[in-house]
């Protein structure tokens, strides 16, 4: 549904999803959330309302009062608070799976602990600070027969699958250059946010940069060959010490076939003319041998998006056929989804299918997650800011 009415009803249902009756006690998956995170209501708690097999059962926060308040607001039954709250949640036998939205630098430690406790893990992006840590988590999950998924939610939406299918169909010919941009205007991310803390895996390349790197790797269908250039706009420090936190980064990768891809991210775009606030930018622009494609809003396509395709034909590609596509529901028979399903809802559907031993409509492999953080690290090396610190956590020997 592409009308204004469609837009309004999608926005309404994203915010007030139907609360579907839950399946039997025995068949629901009980989730626990590590940390009373800001992102969890949007990315997990609301999408769970319309999933009959998901119960958001418990939350743990370092401060008991905060945990209680959060649980009350979101209708969560079980609360853990205090310095050992996360571990207590993992030790709860009623918890089957964990949603881990902790700061990036804690992803490895708490995912390893959750897997150790026998829980499946839906893990926020980026998977960890280093490819080595990510590999360890996925190998451990596999050895325990548990599901682990890095929450690159946009990859589960049918509009993004259509985007990929257009490239794969060959109608535009090979990609010559792609630009993936994700930028937030200043005012969105406050001072003191986890994204400014190097030891917590901060930096914009870790945050929005991991998405645009992921998008380039996805549309090319392969990893880059190298980082050709990377520059960072760093956070000024009061002490004058060199900062390791990038406010924004632009990196150009070489891809096979003499192609290039540029990833740009920024967490504090300055106002236009110094005073006019800007809108967030989530844009993909691609030049191919026989045409161009641009996608507006690859990140939250449920709200609204466009995929504009220009196919060049004739001598010298002079005649151009232009079309705009919008895809709010899966078009392939048998694939699950509703036009109001936000990316996170599609992702949750797949996660639950995997836990239940059913074939999900779409999945992101361990190798994909490992490669993604590998290339984020490579960009940090190229900018001179260096990778975020490798986790020091080691599982106790059983
Ligand atoms: N998929 C998506 O669209 C999005 C994903 N994210 C990802 O989710 C994760 C969390 O982001 P966001 O919700 O913005 O983060 P928050 O600032 O809300 O932090 C998340 C939680 O981290 C916990 N925490 C544990 N240790 C620390 C510490 N030393 N300092 C600060 N917090 C700590 C806090 O838990 P407690 O409550 O116990 O104090 C807090 O609730 C990140 O990995 C981010 O990349 C973020 C936004 C969007
Ligand atoms: O989707 C997102 O948008 C804003 C970012 O800061 C966040 O971490 C990211 O996941």
pLDDT digits (tens, 9 = 90+) for 68-110: 999 999 999 999 999 999 999 999 999 999 999 999 999 999 9
CA distances from 373 to 226, 331, 390 (A): 14, 31, 12
Known catalytic residue at 125: yes
Four-point Cα dihedral 119, 124, 129, 131, nearest 10:
70
For ligand 1, say whether the CB of 157 is within 6 Å of any of its atoms.
Answer: no
Residues 6+ apart with CB under 8 A from 316: none
Give start-end residues of each CATH 3.30.360.10 domain in the chain: 155-331+339-352+365-383
Average pLDDT over the chain reads 96
**DSSP letter at 357?**
T
For ligand 1, say whether the CB of 153 is within 6 Å of any of its atoms.
Answer: yes
Q: CB neighbours (10 Å) of residue 229?
A: 14
Give start-end residues of each CATH 3.40.50.720 domain in the chain: 10-153
CA distances from 108 to 103, 201, 218, 299 (A): 10, 11, 24, 25
pLDDT tens digits for range 3-17:
888 899 999 999 999
Lowest average pLDDT, out of 78-92, 174-188, 194-208, 237-251, goes to 237-251
CATH hierarchy code of domain 155-331+339-352+365-383: 3.30.360.10
Question: Is 326's pLDDT higher than 60?
Answer: yes
Confidence class for position 114, pLDDT limits 50, 70, 90: very high
Question: Is 26's pLDDT higher than 80?
Answer: no
Long-range contacts of 36-42 (CB under 8 A, 24+ apart): 36/61, 36/66, 36/67, 36/69, 36/70, 37/101, 37/102, 39/101, 39/124, 40/99, 40/101, 41/74, 42/342, 42/344
**DSSP letter at 96?**
-
Interhelix angle 209-220/158-169, rounded to 10 degrees, is: 40
pLDDT tens digits for range 267-301:
999 999 989 989 999 999 999 999 999 999 999 99
CA nearest ligand 1 atom 4, residue: 39
Question: Which CATH number applies to 10-153: 2.60.40.10, 3.30.497.10, 3.40.50.720, 3.40.50.1240?
Answer: 3.40.50.720
Q: How far is the CA of 374 from the centre of ligand 2 (A)?
A: 19
Phi, psi angle pair for 17, to nearest 5°: -65, 150
Cα angle, residue 274 at apex, residues 271 and 279 outer, rounded to 5°: 15
For ligand 2, say whether the CB of 208 is within 6 Å of any of its atoms.
Answer: yes
How far apart, in whole angstroms, are the C-alpha atoms of residue 206 and residue 243? 15
Tell me the whole-structure pTM to 2 decimals: 0.97
Instruction: Give Cα 257 to chain centroid, integer Å.
Output: 28
Confidence class for position 1, pLDDT limits 50, 70, 90: low
What mean pLDDT is predicted for residues 30-53? 98
For ligand 2, say whether the CB of 136 is within 6 Å of any of its atoms.
Answer: no
Decide the pairing of beta strands 175-185 and 54-61: unpaired
């Amino acid at each position: 549904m592409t009308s204004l009415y469609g837009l309004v009803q999608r926005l309404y249902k994203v915010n007030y999803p139907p609360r579907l009756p839950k399946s039997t006690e025995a068949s629901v998956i009980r989730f626990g959330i590590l940390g009373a995170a800001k992102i969890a209501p949007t990315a997990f708690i609301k999408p769970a309302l319309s999933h009959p097999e998901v119960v958001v059962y418990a939350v743990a926060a370092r401060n008991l009062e905060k945990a209680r308040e959060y649980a009350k607001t979101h209708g969560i039954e079980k609360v853990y608070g205090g310095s050992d709250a996360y571990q207590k949640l993992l030790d709860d036998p009623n918890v089957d799976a964990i949603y881990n939205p902790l700061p990036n630098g804690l992803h490895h430690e708490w995912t390893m602990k959750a897997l150790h406790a026998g829980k499946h893990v839906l893990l926020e992006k980026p998977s960890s600070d280093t490819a080595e840590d990510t590999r360890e988590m996925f190998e451990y999950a596999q050895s325990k027969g548990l599901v682990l998924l890095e929450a690159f939610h946009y990859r589960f939406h049918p509009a993004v699958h259509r985007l990929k299918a257009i490239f794969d169909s060959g109608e535009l010919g090979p990609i010559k250059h792609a630009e993936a941009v994700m930028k937030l205007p200043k005012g969105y991310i406050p001072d003191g946010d986890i994204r400014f803390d190097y030891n917590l895996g901060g930096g914009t390349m870790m945050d929005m940069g991991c998405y645009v790197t992921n998008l380039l790797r996805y549309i090319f269908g392969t990893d880059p060959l190298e980082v050709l250039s990377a520059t960072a706009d760093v956070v000024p420090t009061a002490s004058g010490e060199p900062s390791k936190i990038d406010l924004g980064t632009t990196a150009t990768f070489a891809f096979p076939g003499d192609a290039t891809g540029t990833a740009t991210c920024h967490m504090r775009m300055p106002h236009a003319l110094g005073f006019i606030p800007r809108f967030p930018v989530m844009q993909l622009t691609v030049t191919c041998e026989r045409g161009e494609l641009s996608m507006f809003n690859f990140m939250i396509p449920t709200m609204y998006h466009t995929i504009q395709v220009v196919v060049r034909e004739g001598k010298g590609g002079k005649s151009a056929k232009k079309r705009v596509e919008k895809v709010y529901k899966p078009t392939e028979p048998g694939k699950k989804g509703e036009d109001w399903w936000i990316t996170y809802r599609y992702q949750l559907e797949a996660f639950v299918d995997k836990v239940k031993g059913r074939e999900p409509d779409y999945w992101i492999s361990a190798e994909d997650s490992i490669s993604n953080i590998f290339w984020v690290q490579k960009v940090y090396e190229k900018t001179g800011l260096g990778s975020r610190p490798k986790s020091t956590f080691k599982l106790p020997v059983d």
